[in-house]
């Protein structure tokens, strides 16, 4: 099998060298060249035809988002973004995923991360996963699939170096433990939820969630709880972005928050999310920072297992694109303890077929449908 050919793009000579060194330590990866900005990136992609590109967001001449948009239109291939851990960096990352980036890696300490070796294993893992997905890579940004009736415009993130380097203030609620969810003025179904849709996803998930959630009607009669594998600092940007695009309300989950129909709750990065039931029957979010499960926090298994204990609640479980097998054990417990209908994404539409394949091979799939049919299936089942 030939080596995976990678183009490394970063305006920092130090970062270009370190990322290249990290990748070439793997015998299956060959760094074919390096580029300093978006313009060089596009030219070298045309010339060298790499399998995967690692692409910094903040660069002079042409930034990463502008280069990514051109690549997805003219030379679609898997792109792994490198992003800073700031509010602006997170917003830009979510935009990159929407434009068609395969995945992203959070720089540990700003644009020039001297300790980038901390995420060396993650860099190699995600680049190799991108390479495995290159033959099924979807050339069209998923933004093209959403209905204009369900969208509102969102200003694009401004890539200002002085702001990208500024750390985001720590966010806490009145108890000092978690940030309050963003408020939304949307009209939604409202009322306590006795119908619950639980969605688990990983690589490729932000685009997949956009496709599903933007297709749900404003008065969708169930609450939707979501685990998307993401590090801290990015899930709030994802929720904020989806909320601008969807007819339903989308928020980052808050500890102690009651579930309402017509609202989607995304587990915060770095926190497990469980759904618990009060004596009144009301469903409430419970967040914790217990040990990662299978390397993940939040974990789909943890969320699914908590839902298995809920009584007198109609339940639907969805597993979509992602590496690994997170969600399979939790779905098995849900089926053992209560009636639940599972919807698994079909291989044909997955960016990475790991999590769906695991659930299907375990015999836990009730319905296997392509991504663009998941929302339609949910609406039929929930109504």
CATH (domain of 245): 3.40.50.180
pLDDT score at 186: 62
- Which is the catalytic residue, given 229, 272, 296, 346? 229
d(CA 149, CA 242): 14
Q: Which residues contact 108 (CB under 8 A, 6 or more apart)?
A: 85, 115, 116, 118, 119
Identify whether 249 is part of a domain.
Answer: yes
Question: Are 359 and 231 members of one domain?
Answer: yes
Identify whether 269 is part of a domain.
Answer: yes
pLDDT score at 153: 36
The domain of 61 spans 4-140
pTM above 0.75, yes or no: yes
Q: Which residues contact 199 (CB under 8 A, 6 or more apart)?
A: 209, 212, 224, 225, 226, 227, 317, 318, 319, 320
Encoding tokens for residue 47?
Answer: 């010339």
- Which is the catalytic residue, given 326, 342, 349, 358? 326
Identify whether 190 is part of a domain.
Answer: no
Q: Which residues contact 381 (CB under 8 A, 6 or more apart)?
A: 316, 341, 343
pLDDT score at 191: 64
pLDDT score at 235: 95
- Over residues 221-244, the pLDDT tens digits come to 999 999 999 998 899 999 999 999
Identify whether 173 is part of a domain.
Answer: no
- Look at the chain and report how many structural domains it folds into: 2
Pairing of strands 272-277, 79-83: unpaired
Question: Are 356 and 251 members of one domain?
Answer: yes
d(CA 286, CA 301): 15
Three-state DSSP at 229 gives coil
CATH (domain of 63): 3.40.50.2300
For the stretch 46-79, what's the b/e string if a residue is b when 16 or more beta carbons lie within 10 angstroms of its beta carbon? Answer: eeeebbbbbbbbbbeeebbbbbbbbbbeeeebbb
d(CA 114, CA 108): 8
- Which is the catalytic residue, given 20, 113, 181, 202? 202
Residues of the chain with pLDDT under 70: 1, 85, 109-114, 136-192
Question: Are 294 and 367 members of one domain?
Answer: yes
Task: Decide if 229 is catalytic.
Answer: yes
Task: Decide if 326 is catalytic.
Answer: yes
Question: Are 231 and 333 members of one domain?
Answer: yes
Question: Are 131 and 253 members of one domain?
Answer: no
- Over residues 100-121, the pLDDT tens digits come to 999 999 887 655 556 778 889 9
Q: Which residues contact 341 (CB under 8 A, 6 or more apart)?
A: 315, 316, 317, 366, 367, 381
d(CA 20, CA 22): 5
How many CA within 13 A on the CB side of residue 265?
31
pLDDT score at 175: 34
d(CA 283, CA 72): 42
Encoding tokens for residue 253?
Answer: 């989950």
Question: Are 217 and 96 members of one domain?
Answer: no
Identify whether 164 is part of a domain.
Answer: no
């Amino acid at each position: 099998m030939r080596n995976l050919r990678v183009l490394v793009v970063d305006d920092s000579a130090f970062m270009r060298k370190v990322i290249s060194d990290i990748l070439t330590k793997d015998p299956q990866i060959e760094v074919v060249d390096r580029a300093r900005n978006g313009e060089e990136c596009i030219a070298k992609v045309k010339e060298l035809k790499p399998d995967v590109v690692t692409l910094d967001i903040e660069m002079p001449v042409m930034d990463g988002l502008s280069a990514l948009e051109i690549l997805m239109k003219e030379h679609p291939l898997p792109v792994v973004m490198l992003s800073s851990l700031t509010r602006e960096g997170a917003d830009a990352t979510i935009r990159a995923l929407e434009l068609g980036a395969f995945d992203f890696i959070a720089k540990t300490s700003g644009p020039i991360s001297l300790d980038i070796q901390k995420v060396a294993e993650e860099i190699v893992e995600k680049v190799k996963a991108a390479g495995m997905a290159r033959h099924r890579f979807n050339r069209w940004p998923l933004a093209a699939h959403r209905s204009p009736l369900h969208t509102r415009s969102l200003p694009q993130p401004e890539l200002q170096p002085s702001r990208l380097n500024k750390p985001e203030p720590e966010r806490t609620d009145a108890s000092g433990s978690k940030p309050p969810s963003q408020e939304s003025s949307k009209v939604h179904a409202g009322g306590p939820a006795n119908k619950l849709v639980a969605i688990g996803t990983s690589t490729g998930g932000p685009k997949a969630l956009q496709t599903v959630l933007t297709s749900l009607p404003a008065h969708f009669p169930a609450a939707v709880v979501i685990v998307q594998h993401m590090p801290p600092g990015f899930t709030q940007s994802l929720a904020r972005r989806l909320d601008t695009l969807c007819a339903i309300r989308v928020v980052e989950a808050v500890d102690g928050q009651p579930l309402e129909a017509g609202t989607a709750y995304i587990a915060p990065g770095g926190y497990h999310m469980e759904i618990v039931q009060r004596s009144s029957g009301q469903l409430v979010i419970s967040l914790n920072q217990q040990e990662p499960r299978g390397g993940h926090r939040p974990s789909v298994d943890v969320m699914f297992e908590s839902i298995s204990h809920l009584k007198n609640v109609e339940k639907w479980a969805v597993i979509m694109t992602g590496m690994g097998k997170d969600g399979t054990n939790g779905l098995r417990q849900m089926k053992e303890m209560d009636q639940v209908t599972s919807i698994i994404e079909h291989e044909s539409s997955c960016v990475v077929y790991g999590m769906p394949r695991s659930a299907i091979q375990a015999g836990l799939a009730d319905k296997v449908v392509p991504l663009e049919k998941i929302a339609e299936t949910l609406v039929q089942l929930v109504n």
